[in-house]
Amino acid sequence: MQDTGALYGAERATLELACGLRAAGEAPVFLLLEEARLRGRSSAFRAALETEALPVHSIPIRGRCSLAAAREVRSRFDEIGRAVLHVTGYKACLHAWMSGVRPVAATVHGWLFRPDVKEQFYGMIERFCLRRFDRVVCLSSFYEDLLIRAGIRRERLVRIPTGLNQNAIPPMEQCTAPPPVPFTFLLAGRFSEEKNHALLLRACARLSREKLHVRVLLAGEGPLRSRLERSVVELHVSDHVRFVGYVPMAELLPQAHALVLCSTIENLPLSILEAMAWARPVVATRVGGIPDLVEDGKTGLLVPSDDDAALAEAMRCLIAEPARAAEWGRAGRARVESQFTMERMVAAHVALYREIATHAA
């Protein structure tokens, strides 16, 4: 995969999968495409791989496309002697296809659907490659339908939801310790357009005008932070909103009564799984793969995208009925333990690798 230097959802999910595969007796090796513009900079993703002692081979690449990099992918793959090349991201897909390696599996972690010509072109490249791979892994029913419409043959698609490592699921008694007052909502995610933090700030402003005692924690970093800080002041919600930076979820969730996610597009958000593991109810927009995780009225509430009145009403419901909110949190935890575990995810990947390796042979 491409080394972007960051450790966001896709990178974290890939890292967790690799650790799970190793624990199951497999031997994953990373081939990282390293762009010249990022060379020499610190990489949170690479540091995480090294912390986990996962083998890494860097493949230098100049520009968006490199025949030399594709040849090295082929050479490294043959040298390592692995049965399957598993890629994620358009650049890794392109170089895997150019390398001629078989068999290849690819995971689609999600597209942003922004009206950017460059991003749309990259999406076209990725879909071109995906149609030529042995299997395409999707995480949610939304992306499964999307990929079928993009021309991926149904028999080549396999849906494998993200699973949580048992270490990320704390003892229940730790989850039931009441967070401090006031009622606190947590939004954890990069400060970027698709996360739509502005929707939460508008909903918070509505609750503030009603004199409701509420707190919002915004965790993460990103290019829109300064704009969001200005919005907090303009909407007069400075007393309710705190920017806490990049903090591990295990430190944030004990401070929150509920998770809120108001994105315009998502695949299968890891933050929702982590919140459910901590028995926290979730308020989220009904977009992408979120309905695969959040059962409306059972583990949280789903609201229309970009409707701050509906989001404020859902938040108000949790504040007014903390007992019901706690019940939804417990139901969410049970759902994670039964359907979204690391063991299920790893077993599905191992079965996939063996199937396509046998077929290729």
Confidence of residue 111 (pLDDT cuts 50, 70, 90): confident
Identify the pLDDT of residue 35: 80
How far apart CA 179 and CA 245 sit, in angstroms, is: 19
Distance CA 204, CA 186 (A): 12
Q: List the chain domain ranges.
A: 9-163+342-360, 167-339
**pTM given for the model:** 0.90
Mean pLDDT of 91-100: 95
The pair phi, psi for residue 316, each rounded to 5°, is -60, -40
> Which pLDDT belongs to residue 116?
77
What Rg do the C-alpha atoms of the chain give, in angstroms? 21
Tell me 341's DSSP state: B
Q: What pLDDT, in 10s, does the model give residues 177-223?
A: 888 889 999 999 999 999 999 999 999 999 999 999 999 999 999 99
CB–CB of 316/293 below 8 Å? Answer: no
What tens digit of pLDDT does each residue of 54-73 get? 999 999 887 778 899 999 99
The topology under which CATH files domain 167-339 is Rossmann fold (3.40.50)
The mean per-residue pLDDT over the stretch 289-307 comes to: 97
> How far apart, in whole angstroms, are the C-alpha atoms of residue 295 and residue 301?
7
Which residue type sits at 12? R
Token pair recorded at residue 15: 């890292």
Query: Tell me, what's the pLDDT at 81?
Result: 83
CB atoms within 10 A of CB 245: 10
**Thinking of the domain 9-163+342-360, which architecture would CATH place it in?**
3-Layer(aba) Sandwich (3.40)
134: tokens are 């042995």
CA–centroid distance for 141 within its chain: 15
Average pLDDT estimate for 86-91: 93
- Distance (Å, rounded) from C-alpha 13 to C-alpha 3? 14
The answer to whether residue 37 scores a pLDDT higher than 80 is no
Average of per-residue pLDDT across 235-252? 95
pLDDT at 48: 92
Same fold flag, 9-163+342-360 and 167-339: yes
Give residue 299's pLDDT: 98
